[in-house]
Amino acid sequence: MIRFLMVAAVVALTATACSSAPPAVATGPDHHHHDAVAASGQPQGRLSVRADAELRPVLNVLTGQFQEAFPGTEVLVEYGVGGTADVTLTDDPRAADPAAVVARNPLVIATARTATDVHTAADLRRPGVRVAAGTDAAGLVPATLRTDGPGAVAAVVTGAADVAVVHRTDVVAAKADLRVVDFREGIQHAQQFTLVLTPSGGNRVTAEAFRELMRSALAQRVFSDAGFSAA
Protein backbone atom coordinates (compact mmCIF):
# COMPACT_ATOMS: atom_id res chain seq x y z
CA MET A 1 0.00 0.00 0.00
CA ILE A 2 2.81 2.42 0.90
CA ARG A 3 4.57 1.66 -2.38
CA PHE A 4 1.35 2.31 -4.29
CA LEU A 5 0.93 5.67 -2.56
CA MET A 6 4.57 6.43 -3.21
CA VAL A 7 4.28 5.77 -6.92
CA ALA A 8 1.07 7.76 -7.23
CA ALA A 9 2.39 10.72 -5.26
CA VAL A 10 5.80 10.97 -6.86
CA VAL A 11 4.76 10.28 -10.43
CA ALA A 12 1.95 12.83 -10.24
CA LEU A 13 4.09 15.48 -8.61
CA THR A 14 7.10 15.01 -10.87
CA ALA A 15 5.40 14.70 -14.25
CA THR A 16 5.70 18.40 -15.00
CA ALA A 17 9.19 18.74 -13.56
CA CYS A 18 10.52 15.78 -15.50
CA SER A 19 8.98 16.81 -18.80
CA SER A 20 10.37 20.35 -18.56
CA ALA A 21 13.71 19.64 -16.90
CA PRO A 22 16.66 21.25 -18.70
CA PRO A 23 19.58 19.08 -19.78
CA ALA A 24 21.95 18.42 -16.91
CA VAL A 25 25.27 20.21 -16.96
CA ALA A 26 27.92 17.81 -15.75
CA THR A 27 31.67 17.56 -15.70
CA GLY A 28 34.05 14.71 -15.14
CA PRO A 29 34.19 11.14 -16.42
CA ASP A 30 30.53 10.39 -15.62
CA HIS A 31 29.03 13.11 -17.83
CA HIS A 32 27.78 10.70 -20.52
CA HIS A 33 25.75 8.86 -17.88
CA HIS A 34 24.25 12.11 -16.59
CA ASP A 35 23.40 13.27 -20.12
CA ALA A 36 21.56 10.00 -20.70
CA VAL A 37 19.60 10.47 -17.47
CA ALA A 38 18.55 14.00 -18.46
CA ALA A 39 17.61 12.92 -21.98
CA SER A 40 15.40 10.10 -20.71
CA GLY A 41 13.08 12.49 -18.87
CA GLN A 42 12.62 9.90 -16.10
CA PRO A 43 14.36 9.55 -12.73
CA GLN A 44 17.20 7.05 -12.95
CA GLY A 45 20.81 6.63 -12.00
CA ARG A 46 22.67 7.56 -8.84
CA LEU A 47 21.57 10.48 -6.65
CA SER A 48 23.79 11.79 -3.86
CA VAL A 49 22.17 13.42 -0.82
CA ARG A 50 23.87 15.28 2.03
CA ALA A 51 21.68 15.51 5.14
CA ASP A 52 21.68 16.33 8.83
CA ALA A 53 21.70 13.28 11.09
CA GLU A 54 18.30 14.18 12.61
CA LEU A 55 16.71 13.24 9.30
CA ARG A 56 18.02 9.67 9.27
CA PRO A 57 14.72 8.01 10.38
CA VAL A 58 12.81 9.86 7.66
CA LEU A 59 15.32 9.26 4.88
CA ASN A 60 15.66 5.58 5.79
CA VAL A 61 12.00 5.24 4.78
CA LEU A 62 11.73 7.67 1.88
CA THR A 63 14.91 6.77 0.01
CA GLY A 64 13.90 3.12 -0.01
CA GLN A 65 10.43 3.96 -1.26
CA PHE A 66 11.86 6.26 -3.93
CA GLN A 67 14.13 3.52 -5.25
CA GLU A 68 11.24 1.04 -5.32
CA ALA A 69 9.03 3.50 -7.17
CA PHE A 70 11.76 4.28 -9.72
CA PRO A 71 13.74 1.13 -10.55
CA GLY A 72 17.19 2.01 -11.76
CA THR A 73 17.70 4.80 -9.22
CA GLU A 74 20.15 4.62 -6.34
CA VAL A 75 20.01 7.19 -3.54
CA LEU A 76 23.23 7.53 -1.54
CA VAL A 77 22.86 9.55 1.67
CA GLU A 78 25.77 10.91 3.68
CA TYR A 79 25.12 12.52 7.05
CA GLY A 80 27.06 15.45 8.45
CA VAL A 81 28.64 18.61 7.11
CA GLY A 82 31.04 19.05 4.24
CA GLY A 83 31.30 17.48 0.84
CA THR A 84 29.16 17.96 -2.25
CA ALA A 85 25.96 16.26 -3.33
CA ASP A 86 23.13 16.56 -5.84
CA VAL A 87 20.73 17.41 -2.99
CA THR A 88 21.37 18.93 0.44
CA LEU A 89 18.95 18.70 3.39
CA THR A 90 20.12 20.81 6.30
CA ASP A 91 18.89 22.72 9.33
CA ASP A 92 19.03 26.31 8.09
CA PRO A 93 17.37 28.87 10.40
CA ARG A 94 18.25 31.64 7.95
CA ALA A 95 16.55 30.06 4.94
CA ALA A 96 15.73 32.91 2.57
CA ASP A 97 13.22 30.86 0.57
CA PRO A 98 10.33 29.51 2.68
CA ALA A 99 9.43 27.18 -0.19
CA ALA A 100 12.71 25.31 0.40
CA VAL A 101 11.61 24.26 3.91
CA VAL A 102 10.38 20.65 4.00
CA ALA A 103 9.96 20.13 7.77
CA ARG A 104 10.32 21.77 11.17
CA ASN A 105 11.38 20.32 14.51
CA PRO A 106 10.03 22.44 17.39
CA LEU A 107 11.19 22.44 20.98
CA VAL A 108 8.57 21.03 23.34
CA ILE A 109 8.01 20.51 27.05
CA ALA A 110 7.98 16.82 27.98
CA THR A 111 6.79 15.59 31.37
CA ALA A 112 5.59 12.36 32.93
CA ARG A 113 1.92 11.73 32.19
CA THR A 114 1.25 11.67 35.93
CA ALA A 115 2.68 15.16 36.41
CA THR A 116 0.01 17.76 37.08
CA ASP A 117 2.06 20.86 37.92
CA VAL A 118 3.52 21.78 34.51
CA HIS A 119 1.20 22.87 31.72
CA THR A 120 2.86 25.94 30.15
CA ALA A 121 6.30 27.47 29.70
CA ALA A 122 5.59 29.79 32.66
CA ASP A 123 5.43 26.75 34.94
CA LEU A 124 9.10 26.02 34.20
CA ARG A 125 10.03 29.02 36.36
CA ARG A 126 8.14 27.85 39.40
CA PRO A 127 10.32 27.09 42.44
CA GLY A 128 11.18 23.43 42.79
CA VAL A 129 10.55 22.43 39.16
CA ARG A 130 13.59 20.50 37.92
CA VAL A 131 14.16 21.26 34.25
CA ALA A 132 16.48 19.26 31.99
CA ALA A 133 17.31 21.33 28.91
CA GLY A 134 18.51 19.82 25.67
CA THR A 135 21.35 21.47 23.77
CA ASP A 136 19.17 23.74 21.63
CA ALA A 137 17.10 24.81 24.64
CA ALA A 138 20.13 26.17 26.51
CA GLY A 139 19.51 29.81 27.39
CA LEU A 140 15.87 29.61 26.34
CA VAL A 141 14.51 28.20 29.60
CA PRO A 142 15.81 27.97 33.19
CA ALA A 143 17.54 24.63 33.68
CA THR A 144 18.83 22.58 36.58
CA LEU A 145 20.41 20.11 34.15
CA ARG A 146 21.93 20.85 30.75
CA THR A 147 22.58 17.93 28.45
CA ASP A 148 21.70 16.73 24.97
CA GLY A 149 18.16 15.90 23.89
CA PRO A 150 18.25 12.15 24.58
CA GLY A 151 19.88 12.81 27.96
CA ALA A 152 17.16 15.29 28.93
CA VAL A 153 14.40 12.84 27.99
CA ALA A 154 16.15 10.09 29.97
CA ALA A 155 16.33 12.40 33.00
CA VAL A 156 12.53 12.68 33.05
CA VAL A 157 12.03 8.95 32.48
CA THR A 158 14.34 8.08 35.39
CA GLY A 159 12.95 10.77 37.68
CA ALA A 160 16.11 12.87 37.76
CA ALA A 161 14.11 15.80 36.32
CA ASP A 162 10.47 16.82 36.28
CA VAL A 163 10.53 18.35 32.82
CA ALA A 164 12.61 18.10 29.65
CA VAL A 165 12.76 20.86 27.06
CA VAL A 166 13.87 19.12 23.89
CA HIS A 167 13.03 18.73 20.24
CA ARG A 168 9.88 16.72 19.64
CA THR A 169 11.89 14.18 17.66
CA ASP A 170 13.93 13.42 20.79
CA VAL A 171 10.77 12.27 22.58
CA VAL A 172 9.60 10.19 19.61
CA ALA A 173 13.03 8.59 19.10
CA ALA A 174 13.20 7.60 22.78
CA LYS A 175 9.76 5.94 22.54
CA ALA A 176 9.08 7.50 25.92
CA ASP A 177 5.52 7.61 27.23
CA LEU A 178 5.61 11.30 28.13
CA ARG A 179 3.12 14.14 27.90
CA VAL A 180 4.24 16.67 25.28
CA VAL A 181 3.30 20.35 25.47
CA ASP A 182 3.96 22.85 22.68
CA PHE A 183 4.94 26.38 23.68
CA ARG A 184 5.41 29.62 21.77
CA GLU A 185 9.15 29.99 22.23
CA GLY A 186 9.68 26.37 21.24
CA ILE A 187 7.84 26.88 17.97
CA GLN A 188 9.76 30.10 17.31
CA HIS A 189 13.08 28.31 17.85
CA ALA A 190 12.21 25.22 15.83
CA GLN A 191 14.80 23.71 13.57
CA GLN A 192 13.74 24.14 9.96
CA PHE A 193 15.11 21.79 7.38
CA THR A 194 15.59 23.05 3.85
CA LEU A 195 16.10 21.10 0.65
CA VAL A 196 18.33 22.61 -2.02
CA LEU A 197 19.38 21.20 -5.37
CA THR A 198 23.09 21.74 -5.95
CA PRO A 199 23.54 23.80 -9.16
CA SER A 200 26.49 21.67 -10.22
CA GLY A 201 24.69 18.38 -9.56
CA GLY A 202 24.68 16.10 -12.59
CA ASN A 203 21.46 14.11 -12.07
CA ARG A 204 18.97 16.98 -12.23
CA VAL A 205 15.91 14.97 -13.30
CA THR A 206 16.22 12.54 -10.40
CA ALA A 207 17.02 15.36 -7.98
CA GLU A 208 13.84 17.21 -8.97
CA ALA A 209 11.77 14.05 -8.55
CA PHE A 210 13.29 13.51 -5.11
CA ARG A 211 12.53 17.12 -4.15
CA GLU A 212 8.88 16.68 -5.11
CA LEU A 213 8.71 13.51 -3.04
CA MET A 214 10.07 15.38 -0.01
CA ARG A 215 7.30 17.98 -0.44
CA SER A 216 4.53 15.42 -0.88
CA ALA A 217 1.75 14.45 1.52
CA LEU A 218 3.36 11.03 1.85
CA ALA A 219 6.63 12.58 3.03
CA GLN A 220 4.78 14.79 5.50
CA ARG A 221 3.23 11.67 7.02
CA VAL A 222 6.67 10.13 7.44
CA PHE A 223 8.03 13.37 8.92
CA SER A 224 5.09 13.50 11.34
CA ASP A 225 5.64 9.90 12.46
CA ALA A 226 9.23 10.85 13.36
CA GLY A 227 8.09 13.90 15.37
CA PHE A 228 8.58 16.68 12.83
CA SER A 229 6.01 19.36 12.05
CA ALA A 230 4.72 20.14 8.58
CA ALA A 231 6.63 22.69 6.54
For residue 166, the cross-strand partners are: 108
- Give me the CATH code for the 2-95+191-230 domain, please: 3.40.190.10
pLDDT recorded at residue 175 = 94
pLDDT band at 94 (very low <50, low <70, confident <90, very high): low
Where are the domains positioned within the chain? 2-95+191-230, 107-188
Cβ 171 vs Cβ 186: under 8 Å: no
User: pLDDT by residue (tens digit) across 96-141?
Assistant: 577 789 999 999 999 998 877 787 888 899 999 999 999 999 888 9
Highest mean pLDDT among 10-19, 75-84, 98-107, 207-216: 207-216
pLDDT recorded at residue 76 = 96
pLDDT band at 19 (very low <50, low <70, confident <90, very high): very low
- Do the two domains 2-95+191-230 and 107-188 of this chain adopt the same fold? yes
User: pLDDT by residue (tens digit) across 146-176?
Assistant: 999 999 999 999 999 999 999 999 999 999 9
Protein fold of 107-188: D-Maltodextrin-Binding Protein; domain 2 (3.40.190)
pLDDT recorded at residue 199 = 84
Tell me what the mean pLDDT of segment 44-66 comes to: 95
Q: pTM for the whole thing?
A: 0.79
| Of 231 and 89, the one with more pLDDT | 89
pLDDT recorded at residue 27 = 35
pLDDT band at 14 (very low <50, low <70, confident <90, very high): very low
Highest mean pLDDT among 36-45, 54-63, 132-141: 54-63
pLDDT band at 16 (very low <50, low <70, confident <90, very high): very low
pLDDT mean across residues, the chain? 83
Q: Which of 111, 105, 132, 229 is closest to 176 using CA atoms? A: 111
